[in-house]
């Protein structure tokens, strides 16, 4: 049987030109996060199927690549359901593995623990342009820090990294799950249906306030609650200070630390940032994952109309593993989107080393070849990139190709130095 040349459905081979940019971006990200005190960790790509299907992952749990049991554990004859056949799966995010890792190793880790993870995740999504079933995630998380310092450092670290990769004029949009809930409670929506309200709110940037109002009523929410809710957002549009407006409106409904906390994060980041971006309070940001308990944020690139990452606080997940809650907050860069933007912008890696190609004549005697190898060794020791290749029959074409690949210097070596 002939072998299959294509990668499996929905996954991609990465070409050298893209890999060079990816490797560069990874090095900038890791260096910057290290300067903020984050430490690299890694977990296996495979997690036990119980952890992956524990309702931490929302819809992603429907998209798991599951791994067949092996050896005696696989009992095909008696298997009745899928669950009888599998014992593991490929992780769909880095947050569930991180929390498992933290729960397993907390005694050996500093407190608070600041982690950076860069790794592939897998989701068996319907294949579509620009989205792949294997993609890299790049997360930083702080576990064990209850104060705003976590949010502030996560946002500063992420934005500094983006700035160093050449991004500017972007926005960090921030909201609070507890504020979302207070606004819904203030409007009189029933608490057990808040998530439905938020799913509609999440679409407000596309369907507008009227569209959202229509959909709320159509979903069976009362006209009165809907009106109160929409009026809150209308008031926000014209309020000179949105947070002050909400503080007044929601007095008695919202926990007292929520709005001062948001204000402190926004102001502290704004005053101490190093990159060129704006902090924006956005009461319509929802973030899908149900595990968020406090602040939530997104990176928005307004010129491109897309989000390039996000995160938030999830103070209740460690407790799912250990029985004892530990505060946690994380921020994920949309690595694949960042790379796509850099590629489309024709990003050039700064400070690339000298590249030279040595073309050697065929059947070069060993002595002469050694001379060439020695010269290459000395140049490489000095940090240059030296490609040694045999001269092709069509040397002109070969040189053009090397030039196109960035070899600005091409040196020809002949069997006998004077032959040239």
Residue 193: CB atoms within 10 Å: 13
Q: What is the nearest approach in angstroms of a copy of itself to the Cβ of residue 235?
A: 26
Q: What is the nearest approach in angstroms of a copy of itself to the Cβ of residue 343?
A: 15
**Whats the size of the chain, residue-wise?**
420
> Nearer Cβ to a copy of itself, position 290 or 401?
401
Q: Name the 3-class secondary structure at 108.
A: helix
> Nearer Cβ to a copy of itself, position 106 or 185?
106
Say if CB 197 and CB 242 are below 8 A apart: no
Tell me which H or E stretch contains 145: none
Judged by CB under 8 A, the chain residues 266 through 285 that form the site for a copy of itself are 267-268, 271-274
> Nearer Cβ to a copy of itself, position 14 or 207?
14
- Preceding peptide of 112 cis, ω within 30°: yes
Q: What is the nearest approach in angstroms of a copy of itself to the Cβ of residue 353?
A: 8
Q: How far apart, in whole angstroms, are the C-alpha atoms of residue 312 and residue 298?
A: 9
Judged by CB under 8 A, the chain residues 378 through 397 that form the site for a copy of itself are 380-381, 383-390
Judged by CB under 8 A, the chain residues 118 through 157 that form the site for a copy of itself are 120, 122, 124, 134, 145, 147, 149, 152-153, 156
Q: What are phi and psi of 345, to 5 degrees?
A: -85, 5
Question: If binding is defined by CB under 8 A, does position 100 make contact with a copy of itself?
Answer: yes
Q: What is the nearest approach in angstroms of a copy of itself to the Cβ of residue 295?
A: 16
Q: How far apart, in whole angstroms, are the C-alpha atoms of residue 167 and residue 160?
A: 10
70-78, 235-243, 342-350, 411-419 -> range binding a copy of itself (CB under 8 A):
70-78
Say if CB 55 and CB 61 are below 8 A apart: yes
> Nearer Cβ to a copy of itself, position 198 or 281?
281
Q: How far apart, in whole angstroms, are the C-alpha atoms of residue 198 and residue 283?
A: 11
- How big is the site for a copy of itself, counted in residues (CB under 8 A)? 107
Q: What are phi and psi of 307, to 5 degrees?
A: -95, 140
The DSSP secondary-structure symbol of 92 reads S
Judged by CB under 8 A, the chain residues 298 through 357 that form the site for a copy of itself are 320-323, 353, 357
Judged by CB under 8 A, the chain residues 3 through 42 that form the site for a copy of itself are 3-8, 11-16, 19-20, 22-23, 27, 30, 32, 34-37, 39-42
Q: How far apart, in whole angstroms, are the C-alpha atoms of residue 317 and residue 102?
A: 11
> Which of 75, 105, 395, 403: binder of a copy of itself (CB under 8 A)?
105
Q: Let me know the angle formed at the C-alpha of 327 by 32 and 335, rounded to the nearest 5 degrees.
A: 35
Distance from chain centroid for Cα 334: 3
> Which of 101, 189, 229, 292: binder of a copy of itself (CB under 8 A)?
101
Long-range contacts of the stretch 349-353 (C-beta < 8 A, 24+): 349/20, 349/21, 349/24, 352/406, 353/383, 353/384, 353/385
> Which of 366, 393, 396, 418: binder of a copy of itself (CB under 8 A)?
366
Q: What is the nearest approach in angstroms of a copy of itself to the Cβ of residue 369?
A: 6
> Nearer Cβ to a copy of itself, position 40 or 345?
40
């Amino acid at each position: 049987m002939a072998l299959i040349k294509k990668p499996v459905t929905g996954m991609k081979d990465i070409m050298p030109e893209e890999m060079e940019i990816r490797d560069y971006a990874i090095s900038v990200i890791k260096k910057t996060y290290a300067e903020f005190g984050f430490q690299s960790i890694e977990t296996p790509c495979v997690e036990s199927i119980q952890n992956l299907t524990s309702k931490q992952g929302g819809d992603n749990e429907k998209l798991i690549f599951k791994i067949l049991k092996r050896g005696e554990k696989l009992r095909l004859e008696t298997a009745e359901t899928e669950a009888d056949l599998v014992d593991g799966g490929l992780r769909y995010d880095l947050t569930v593995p991180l929390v498992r890792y933290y729960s397993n190793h907390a005694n050996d880790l500093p407190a608070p623990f600041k982690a950076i993870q860069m790794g592939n995740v897998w989701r068996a999504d319907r294949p579509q342009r620009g989205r792949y079933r294997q993609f890299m995630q790049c997360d930083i998380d702080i576990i064990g820090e209850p104060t705003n310092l976590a949010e502030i450092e996560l946002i500063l670290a992420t934005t500094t990294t983006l700035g160093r990769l050449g991004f500017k004029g972007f926005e960090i949009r921030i909201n609070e799950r507890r504020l979302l809930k207070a606004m819904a409670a203030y409007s009189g929506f029933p608490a057990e249906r808040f998530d439905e309200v938020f799913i509609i709110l999440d679409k407000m940037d596309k369907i507008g306030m009227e569209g959202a109002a229509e959909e709320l009523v159509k979903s069976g929410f009362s006209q009165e609650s809907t009106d109160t809710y929409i009026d809150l957002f209308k008031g926000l549009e014209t309020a000179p200070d949105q947070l002050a407006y909400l503080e007044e409106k929601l007095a008695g409904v919202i926990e007292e630390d929520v709005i001062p906390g948001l204000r402190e994060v926004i102001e502290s980041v704004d005053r101490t940032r190093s990159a060129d971006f704006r902090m924006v309070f956005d009461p319509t940001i929802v973030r899908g994952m149900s595990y968020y308990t406090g602040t939530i944020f997104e990176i928005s690139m307004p010129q491109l109309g897309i989000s390039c990452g996000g995160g938030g606080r999830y103070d209740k997940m460690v407790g799912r593993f250990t029985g004892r809650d530990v505060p946690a907050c994380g921020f994920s860069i949309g690595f694949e989107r960042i790379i796509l933007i850099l590629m489309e912008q024709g990003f050039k890696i700064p400070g690339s080393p000298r590249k030279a190609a040595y073309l050697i004549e065929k059947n070069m005697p060993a002595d002469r070849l050694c001379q060439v190898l020695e010269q290459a060794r000395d140049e490489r020791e000095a940090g240059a990139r030296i490609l040694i290749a045999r001269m092709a029959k069509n040397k002109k074409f070969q040189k053009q190709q090397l030039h196109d690949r960035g070899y600005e210097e091409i040196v020809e070596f002949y069997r006998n130095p004077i032959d040239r």
